[in-house]
Amino acid sequence: MKYTTLGKSGLKVSRLCLGTMNFGPTTDEKEAFRIMDAALDAGINFFDTANVYGGPGNRGVTEEIIGRWFAQGGGRRERVVLATKVYQSMEEPNNPNDERGLSAYKIRRHLEDSLRRLRTDHIELYQMHHVDRNVTWDELYGAFETAILQGKIGYVGASNFAARDLVKAQYEAQKRGFLGLVSEQHKYSLLCRLPELEVLPAAQEYGIGVIAWSPLDGGVLAGNFNPPQGSRSANHMDKIEKLRPQLERFSKLCRELGESEAVVALAWTLAHPAMTAPIIGPRTVEQLNSALRVVELELTEDVLREIDEIFPGPGGSAPEAYAW
């Protein structure tokens, strides 16, 4: 496994991030334990979750599964860089402060609940799951700074922030003498390249490590044109049919390289200098093992150019992508 520092922090994380959203809804606890053990054995130390994972009516279940895995001991907790998130409703009845959004009140309460479910006394990376422009940065950073001083979190990250939000966050942090954001978790894949216009350049300039979510676009880029019923890819058949010429050309390139479509698509995300790690969401140990090859694959400039022809991006960063 290869490692890099997370943004401008000194924290070292693996170049693959283990996503846990499937744990509970589609992957049972026994298999989830096997996946986490195998990931740790393979050198993946970066685990991502969220308080809402588990789905409607079962929010928090994924964190509970991870907590029971930690409770087995064996150095599991000590070796993991743990990331979770706050923003969504946890379905608390008759509580207007539980609605989607951020506040010092919610951050404090939801952090305590995540710590309890995860059976730990600290979280390395606490992420805002979505931007909330209705709340001041004084309120947000005040809550995060308190949690850091209490030893409950190590760093603050973001997810689904626009470039202007990242710049604002770092500006406000600098005024307070605070480190600010060390990461931004953003949707990025061969089928979603708009972040190249503003988000990735801003993150790179301001020392924010980018973590790509949905780097296979829900399985569309995994190379299975006839997915089984019930799989994530099966939910995107209309999209697969629409993109079939591009996807078939991509599959042909991957065959020539002797690599799977998923491995090439994930390796492509790592070719961007702003990228820290793509999130992989294996449902089985076999899927995890097949993804480990990603960090060893370095795509040549010729291959990257051909991929650009198949899946054109916006043409670079703004404003040069659309102006002079």
- Cβ–Cβ under 8 Å, residues 23 and 53: yes
Cα angle: 236, vertex 237, 243; to 5 degrees? 95
HSE at residue 16, side-chain half, CA atoms within 13 A, is 26
- As annotated, the active-site residues are 53
Domains of the chain, residue spans:
3-218+259-300
Task: Report whether pLDDT(45) > 90.
Answer: yes
The model's confidence at residue 235, banded by pLDDT at 50, 70 and 90, is confident
The model's confidence at residue 120, banded by pLDDT at 50, 70 and 90, is very high
pLDDT in tens, 259-304: 999 999 999 999 999 999 999 999 999 999 999 999 999 999 999 9
Structure token digits, residue 217:
């676009």
For domain 3-218+259-300, say whether CATH 3.40.50.2300 is its number: no
Residue 95: name the closest of 109, 83, 76, 84 by CA.
109
CA distance 114 to 37: 21
pTM (2 decimals)? Answer: 0.95
- Listed in sequence order, the residues at least 6 apart from 235 whose beta carbon sits closer than 8 Å to its beta carbon are 218
Task: Report whether pLDDT(228) > 70.
Answer: no
Average pLDDT over all residues of the chain: 96
